[in-house]
């Protein structure tokens, strides 16, 4: 028993002589307010992230809509240019053809050929206008905007070429009339010896 008492006394002395800092801390205490604030900030960042995803999706949709509107606007501009080219072609042919055909230097056999060449241009322009109307109103077999724009570009280039061709023909016929007028003036002048 003495041995037990002696052991108990040594253990008690050791415990009392042990540094007091190790036993005095006790259980660690956590600050719950920091943990709650961390949880709240994680939840808030998740909400912001979901809002960012929604914003990105909205911006993608708006970009697609802008591209669609841009495609429609470019189609309308092409249609407007085709219409303007055809109107200019029609008015030029109407005014200039009358002047060319009423010239005394155009032979009767040429009148029909000149009229036919200009009438063919007007018919092509009217066909293009009819095609353009069908293309824009009926959807033309559910084609994409790019395919529709490609067809409109071809028609636009065709109308430009027809306008240039009409201007070239008018110039040729005016040059022919001028040549014949000069030839007649030279042939009908009196010789001065």
Predicted model pTM: 0.59
Distance CA 144, CA 134 (A): 15
Whether residue 140 has pLDDT greater than 70: no
Split into its structural domains, the chain has a count of: 1
- Alpha-carbon distances of 86 from 82, 136, 153, 161, rounded to whole Å: 6, 17, 15, 11
Q: Which residue has the tokens 């790019």?
A: 146
167 part of a folded domain:
yes
pLDDT in tens, 83-135: 888 888 888 888 888 888 888 888 888 888 888 888 888 888 888 888 888 87
Question: What is the extent of the structural domain holding 124?
Answer: 63-187
Query: 31 in the Ramachandran plot: left (φ > 0), alpha (ψ -120 to 50) or beta?
Result: beta
Which of 156, 160, 164, 161 lies closest to 76 in space, CA to CA?
156
Q: Which residue has the tokens 């000069």?
A: 182
Instruction: Provide, rounded to the nearest whole percent, the portion of the chain with pLDDT above 90.
Output: 15
Q: How confident is the model over 114-127, as pLDDT tens digits?
A: 888 888 888 888 88
Specify if 9 maps to a domain. Answer: no
Task: Identify whether 91 is part of a domain.
Answer: yes
The answer to whether position 12 is within a domain reads: no
Whether residue 26 lies inside any domain: the answer is no
Structure tokens at 189: 């002048």
DSSP 48-97: HHHHHHHHHHHHHHHHHHHHHHHHHHHHHHHHHHHHHHHHHHHHHHHHHH
- Closest Cα partner for 71 from 158, 132, 144? 144
Is residue 23 a part of any domain in this protein? no
* 52 domain residue, yes or no: no
Domain membership flag for residue 8: no
């Amino acid at each position: 028993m003495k041995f037990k008492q002696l052991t108990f006394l040594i253990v008690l002395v050791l415990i009392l002589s042990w540094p007091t800092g190790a036993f005095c801390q006790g259980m660690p205490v956590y600050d719950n307010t920091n943990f709650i604030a961390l949880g709240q900030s994680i939840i808030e960042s998740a909400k912001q992230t979901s809002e960012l995803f929604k914003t990105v999706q909205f911006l993608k949709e708006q970009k697609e809509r802008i591209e669609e509107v841009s495609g429609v606007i470019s189609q309308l501009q092409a249609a407007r240019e085709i219409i303007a080219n055809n109107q200019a072609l029609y008015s030029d042919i109407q005014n200039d053809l009358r002047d060319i055909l009423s010239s005394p230097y155009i032979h009767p056999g040429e009148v029909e050929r000149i009229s036919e060449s200009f009438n063919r241009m007007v018919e092509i322009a009217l066909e293009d206008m009819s095609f353009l109307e069908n293309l824009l109103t009926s959807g033309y077999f559910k084609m994409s905007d790019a395919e529709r724009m490609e067809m409109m570009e071809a028609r636009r280039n065709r109308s430009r070429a027809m306008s240039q061709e009409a201007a070239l023909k008018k110039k040729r016929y005016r040059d022919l009339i001028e040549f014949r007028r000069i030839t007649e003036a030279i042939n009908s002048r009196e010789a001065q010896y």
